[in-house]
Structure 1
Amino acid sequence: MSVPVTVGVIANPASGRDIRRLTTHASVFPTAEKANMIVRLLAGLGALGVDRVLTLRDKTGVSALLLRAIETHKAVASHQRWPEVEFLALPFSDSVADTHVGVAHMVREGVSLIAVLGGDGTHRAAAAHCGDVPLLTLSTGTNNAFPDLREATVAGLAGALVASRAVPPEIALVRNKRLVVRCVEGPNQGREEIALVDVCVSRQRFVGARAVSEPSDIETLFLTFAAPDGIGLSSIGGAFAPVDRAASHGLHLTFARPGESGVPILAPIAPGRIDQVTMRACERLEAGAWTPLYAEHGTLAFDGEREIELERGDRYEVALDWRGPLTVDVERVLRYSASRQLMREVAAGST
């Protein structure tokens, strides 16, 4: 008896609803569109042989709308094949804890890959627990640099080709860099966090609304990559010294306080918001070397959100490594598939 091809789906119900909707001109990503994206993802996955999808329940209505769509699909006897969808019987709080628990559970269930609908923060949470299970990234948040902004139907087709092993992993998957921050001394000694895009030492002393939105608050910035067409904190690096995702190094930037001299840089740090920062230094961040974080006060932000309030006596350090998550290269998967007409073969084999 063949083992069913199983895919996990994580959809953050809170993504696209943070404070930047109020402070900038960022677009709102409604609950209905998240449910519709999952439906389109199911169509792509089911067309090419994925048998089963595991996903989470939530309080905001994404899972309820998805269930309604599934019931309608069954009632009209559509010719389009969808996977069987199983809502995991896990406690839920509509917080990041749901992603942590859900991804860990999906990995234990042996999913072939996990599709993540969310922003940089959601993908960071998934990356903390996915191990070597690849992520299929879909952007639904704000200031996204890590996940792809892509049609879910197309992503579903590529995900199915990867989950069914029709496309070999060495073609389909990309290993990503990450930043690791650890506390080596002080009240929080032993704490460790990761980031997929950026770690920021902010001059703001409290976590507050989490988002790093004032350029004058930025003390130090570490980046895994910096796209010249990016948005968010990584756009600062992209405006001065772009670094590709595949590059062996990252960036370490430090910034002047108001009134101090330095190099002015204009960057889009939020949708509809272009600000100037004054840079004091920009250095390559080589993989494997631990760099001290010199800050007695303030907060540490990971992938754009303040999370740790620095306490007296805490001493942190940061390093870049290549132990980030595996992600599906959708374009490369579909190009490989087209060159070998794999979709036709996989679809024929799954009927």
Structure 2
Amino acid sequence: MATRGQETTPVTTPVTVGVIANPASGRDIRRLTTHASVFPTAEKANMVVRLLAGLGALGVERVLTLRDRTGVAALVLRALETHAAIDPHARWPLVEFVDLPMNDSVADTHTGVAHMVREPVALIAVLGGDGTHRAVAAHCGATPLVALSTGTNNAFPELREATVAGLAGALVATGAVPAETALVRNKRLVARCIEGPSRGREEIALVDICVSRQPFIGARAISSSSDIEALFLAFAPADGIGLAAIGGAWAPVGRDAAHGLYMTFAHGAVQSQEGVPLIAPIAPGRVERVTMRTCERLEVGMALPLEAGHGTLAFDGEREIEPARGDRYEVTLDWHGPLTVDVARTLRYAASHQLMREPVAR
């Protein structure tokens, strides 16, 4: 305890950012059924290094990330050692690998994000697809995300240079750009079981919930348009790809719109059924035809029944639930999705306030 005449030294906490790089993203089974490119381990590691360069240049002092068995963490560590030998004066954050058990499953992301939130980190940079971001969103709470695409049919994360994303993330993490300017609140879809053996179960999606005609989860991915019975969409970009592109082909809905879409479809094998034929890119290099039976607005707060029949439920493109007999689900749209960094708006603010002239002081 300090006495009169003595000065206390303030304890400073280093500006800390979390990094989740899904080693499995961009390598799923859809690469066997489409013309999507494979996202190799080396490129993921390179993206992390470029992200670190941007973060360190503008004041992030510490980064927490996860270990993995595929080699991403090892390649990142080797690159950092190389950069330190070449330029010992470069501004790189201290990288710490969180010591958590690895299951080589989505559980690694869940436990890793929960640990980072407890630390706490100022934000979390996520390298992955829609499924990875969905897993992070389930546990990140109020911690904002920098969303970077390394998956297959990505609608939620941006396809952006990691160095630039790192600069924007640092401006937010250090407080140089205010949250009300830099951050955007996202919508989400929530499926709740309100009756039956699974009553109380709840799953979220950031882009789409699909009622699939496939009776089993199997390889998880929705691989054919003929499997689609119904779609709930949080947003539907006209220039998107994946299931959300079907909504974008008929009634585009922006991320900032106060509604989503609910669509139903005729069975692919029954071409005589009434409906509107639509063409949409449901996967890279794969443009398919669907027959839309109905399309209506899904308003925020509105609960719609989800009729699964003998099918399965897919969340952001991956089948997750085989409903038990007697289960009854409903879907709602709300604004409780994750906060994300608007990279372009953050950097415009930085330029207009001349924040890029020199490293940002804490």
Aligned with residue 68 of structure 2, among 44, 52, 58? 58
Match for residue 142 of structure 1?
152
What SS is found at the alignment partner of 1:199?
Answer: strand
Match for residue 307 of structure 1?
320
Aligned with residue 129 of structure 2, among 108, 116, 119? 119
Distance in 2 between residues matched to 1:241 and 1:80, nearest whole Å: 49
Aligned with residue 101 of structure 1, among 104, 111, 120? 111
CA positional deviation for 1:184: 1.0
Aligned with residue 324 of structure 1, among 306, 315, 337? 337
Distance in 1 between residues matched to 2:280 and 2:88, nearest whole Å: 48
Match for residue 183 of structure 2?
173
Aligned with residue 94 of structure 2, among 77, 80, 84? 84
What SS is found at the alignment partner of 1:343?
Answer: coil
Larger radius of gyration: 2
Match for residue 21 of structure 2?
11
RMSD of Structure 2 on Structure 1 (CA)? 0.9
> Residues 122 and 173 of structure 2 are in contact (CA less than 8 Å); yes or no, is this contact kept in structure 1?
yes
What SS is found at the alignment partner of 2:217?
Answer: coil
> Residues 84 and 90 of structure 2 are in contact (CA less than 8 Å); yes or no, is this contact kept in structure 1?
no
Structure 1 alignment gaps of length 5 or more: none
Distance in 2 between residues matched to 1:22 and 1:80, nearest whole Å: 42
> Residues 139 and 149 of structure 1 are in contact (CA less than 8 Å); yes or no, is this contact kept in structure 2?
yes
Match for residue 248 of structure 1?
258
Match for residue 218 of structure 2?
208
Match for residue 290 of structure 2?
277
> Residues 20 and 26 of structure 1 are in contact (CA less than 8 Å); yes or no, is this contact kept in structure 2?
yes
CA positional deviation for 1:321: 0.2
Distance in 2 between residues matched to 1:11 and 1:206, nearest whole Å: 29
The one-letter code matched in structure 2 to 1:339 is S
> Residues 296 and 311 of structure 1 are in contact (CA less than 8 Å); yes or no, is this contact kept in structure 2?
no
Match for residue 12 of structure 2?
2
The one-letter code matched in structure 1 to 2:227 is D
CA positional deviation for 1:213: 1.4
Distance in 2 between residues matched to 1:170 and 1:74, nearest whole Å: 36
The one-letter code matched in structure 1 to 2:293 is R
Match for residue 261 of structure 1?
274
> Residues 58 and 93 of structure 1 are in contact (CA less than 8 Å); yes or no, is this contact kept in structure 2?
no
What SS is found at the alignment partner of 2:357?
Answer: helix
Post-superposition CA distance 1:233-273 (Å, at most 9, x none): 00000000000000000000000123222100000000000
Instruction: Describe the shift of the 1:34–1:311 C-alpha distance in structure 2 as closer, same or farther (beyond 3 A).
Output: same
User: Which residues of 2 match residues 33-52 of structure 1 at below 5 A?
Assistant: 33-52=43-62
Structure 2 residue 139 is the aligned partner of structure 1 residue 129: yes
CA positional deviation for 1:100: 0.6
Match for residue 7 of structure 2?
none
Distance in 1 between residues matched to 2:241 and 2:210, nearest whole Å: 15
For normalisation by structure 2, the TM-score amounts to 0.95
CA positional deviation for 1:348: 5.6
> Residues 59 and 360 of structure 2 are in contact (CA less than 8 Å); yes or no, is this contact kept in structure 1?
no
Identity across the alignment (%): 76
CA positional deviation for 1:185: 1.2
Distance in 1 between residues matched to 2:356 and 2:136, nearest whole Å: 28
Aligned length: 349
Structure 2 residue 166 is the aligned partner of structure 1 residue 156: yes
User: Which residues of 2 match residues 169-248 of structure 1 at below 5 A?
Assistant: 169-248=179-258
CA positional deviation for 1:290: 1.1
Match for residue 349 of structure 1?
361
For normalisation by structure 1, the TM-score amounts to 0.98
Distance in 1 between residues matched to 2:248 and 2:137, nearest whole Å: 24
CA positional deviation for 1:183: 0.7
Distance in 2 between residues matched to 1:41 and 1:302, nearest whole Å: 28
Match for residue 334 of structure 1?
347
